[in-house]
A and B are shown apart, each in its own frame.
Chain A
Amino acid sequence: MINIIGKRYWFFLISAIVIIPGIISLIVFGLKPSNDFQSGTTMTLTFKPTVEESALRQSMTAAGYQDATIQHSSSGDFYISIREITPDERVTLQNDLQTSLKSTLTVDNYATTSAAVASQTVRYAIIAVIVAAIFIMIYISAVFHRMPRPTRWGICAIIALLHDILVVIGIFSILGWVLGVKIDALFITGMLTVAGYSVHDTIVVFDRIRENIIKGNNKDFEQVANFSVNETFVRSLNTSLTVLFVLFALFLIGGSTIHYFVLVLLIGVITGTYSSICNASALLVVWENHEWRRFISWIPGVPKNKKPEAA
């Protein structure tokens, strides 16, 4: 049996190392909204014959779009991001580009969103996240209502969930300023799926702890928790592996539309598995042993706690 719970502070440290850079990036750079959440127009263009990026940039400026963001992808097409334009402006722009570049263009992808729709999407996304959080919390407390102190289990599962969300958001914030990755409606979808998956994974472990407590062979919570984590260890890994297989396949060859959506899920499943094995039950133990008192023992009136046996 591996002493996973005993090394809990090491695991908390690893989580912190992953999360803190992401949070810093989030505070400093934030997230890059796509035009699901911000008004604007994006398009993916292919030219026949192909054109130089600098030439395209010049033509865009000549057509009156000095602020255009232009990215050249490896497959030879151009991703252009500009302000929101009308259908008529689009026709003019396409004609201008074809004339000035002497090349025929194909629009592979075109998306335009007005400010009204964008702000509405933001509002609904926020509502969706909040409603999901509330329902998951209610559900978790319902599942563990037979346990002594059901809220404690619920809160630990939620902390593990927040951990997973923070890891994904942090990484995407970093990807945002390094690679220009943007946040769209599918990102929110991925995040909510990750939330569901994280809880799913945690519940399997918690369920086992509950079962072992009811059996009552061992009175020491820490040992029961560690035993349960070990018992479910193979299952947690195997389940994640099967999901990761399909996600990796989709990530590598599934096409560009869902590339980053799958990346959200990929990171989410990995961190979800990690947090359910290494963090969620460990947090329960920390709480059960009142170990947090160790860290705030300098506050007068807080009773000193004995050092945990295994650390």
Chain B
Amino acid sequence: MRRRENLLFLFVLILLILALCIVLPVNQGLLFHKDFQLGLDLKGGSYLLYQADLSKKDPALSDAQVMAAVESKIERRVNSTGTTEPIIQLQGNNRILVQLPGVTNSSEAISAIGAVGLLEFKQQQLDSSGNVVNDANGQPVWIPATALGSDGTTQEALTGAYLKPNAYVETDSSGKPEVAFEFNTEGAKLFGEITQALLNKPLGIFLDGTLVSQPTVEAVITDKGVINNIPLDQAKILVNQLNSGSLDVPLTVIQQTDVDATLGADSLRKSLTAGLIGIACVALFMIVYYRLPGLVATVALGIYAAILLAIFKLVPITLTLPGIAGFVISTGMAVDANVLIFERMKEELKRGLTINKAVQEGFHRAWPSIRDSNMSTFITCIILYWFGNTFGAFMVKGFAVTLFLGVAISLFSAITITRTFLTQLVNNGMMKNLTMYGEKKHD
């Protein structure tokens, strides 16, 4: 029995040292150099949920194929913006979740990610006598510019699909930005035929149905071209869209949340301060009310916090504001198991048991209550996790995860750590004085 307790004591100590090595900011290189992963609400950023219009997809492809293609294109677009640690996930069968840490207040960048990015080359429609046809507003009507494909039978419309993925922004002779692009072999053939047909006529370049540029064709061009008359920020977006390829279906933003980075940092600081003050109050209360066991419980609480934080870092668990609240609340609850045990111990002492016996009985008898009562918290946590996960509420999910882990570790801490420490103290005869248990000496 003694031997087992000593082993447990050793085990707890090793665990604590490991946890501290992981958590403490000093000696970062010691074990698993990693930072805490913070959610968007704490570091700022954009959370976007896009819905795809699958009715516009190519009927030859399945929904899943289309969504996978869209996802990888979005991923390419996001990555090329240089966002650190973005999250891109498919949700359900027609939604894409995009989380962009650090990106806020830039609706243009955001709409660029979700825009189809379809580049089309068009020509003005001519009537039978060769005059330009105008629409009701007096504007020329544009129709897709087509040419005979290399199979020699079908008329192919020239689009961004025939570009090489190496478009870039350059400046023209007058220092204005323009987008340079290159056609692939098939595209070059089509463009050659089209420019031939449109010599000295305007060529319309459309992006997602909007005319961006209409140069007049001055020579037969095959391999490459430029789109000019475009602001620099739009030029960058266009390059990104051209190189990632146009999306297979149109997307709309159906949910968006932006948190300013300053606000996030402020929230983090506030919640951590609040947490520390709260935990300090708990420790003070435990020591004043339960004396020695209270002190032991406080030490156990410290170890508990270290282990939990180490798990957050290792897994890693994304910390959100409610997640931190869940962690802080779980420390309050972690004490609960100890309170149950100590109250039991006091009762056993009152019944006249020796300290040794009272400690053992206290743990033994409080356990069923602790187990039964915490199970309901586990049940709600699991349901909350599902709830948060199904519609992408990262804050709800964060809370469920930290509360669940917190309560689970707290059970371990109350049963194993507090018990081991108390037994050690009692066994070594260090604590004979009953007043140290907040109990009057009995005669």
Contact = CB atoms under 8 A, between A and B. Distances in A.
Interface stretch (B164-172, B238-246, B263-271, B419-427): B263-271
B347 A121 contact: no
Interface string B249-271: 00011111111101100110011
Interface stretch (B6-14, B122-130, B201-209, B324-332): B324-332
Interface of B: 41, 49, 51, 104-105, 107-108, 110-111, 252-260, 262-263, 266-267, 270-271, 273-275, 277-279, 281-282, 285-286, 289, 321-322, 325, 328-329, 331-333, 335-336, 339-340, 343, 347, 368-369, 372-377, 379-381, 383-384, 386-388, 390-391, 393, 395-396, 399-400, 403
Given A136-B376, A143-B372, A262-B325, A186 B396 contact: yes
Interface in A195-237: 195-197, 199-201, 203-204, 207-208, 231-232, 234-235
A88 to B, nearest CB: 7
Given A87-B253, A108-B262, A242-B282, 10 more contacts: A87-B110, A111-B255, A111-B257, A120-B391, A189-B388, A199-B376, A204-B373, A207-B368, A250-B328, A254-B325
A110 B369 CA distance: 45
Contact of A139 (B325, B331, B379): B379
Which 7 residue pairs spanning A and B have beta carbons closest together? Answer: A246-B278, A196-B380, A249-B278, A243-B332, A110-B258, A245-B281, A128-B387
A231 B322 CA distance: 34
B255 A114 contact: yes
Interface residues of A, number: 72
A62 interface: no
Question: Secondary structure at chain B's binding surface: helix, strand, loop or mixed?
Answer: helix
A254 B282 contact: no
B255 A113 contact: yes
A108 B259 contact: yes
Contacts of A135: 379, 383
A127 B322 CA distance: 21
A107 to B, nearest CB: 5
B377 A196 contact: yes
Contacts of A55: none
Interface string A247-285: 111101111011001100100000000000000000000
A267 B277 CA distance: 20
Contact of B340 (A120, A204, A253, A262): A204
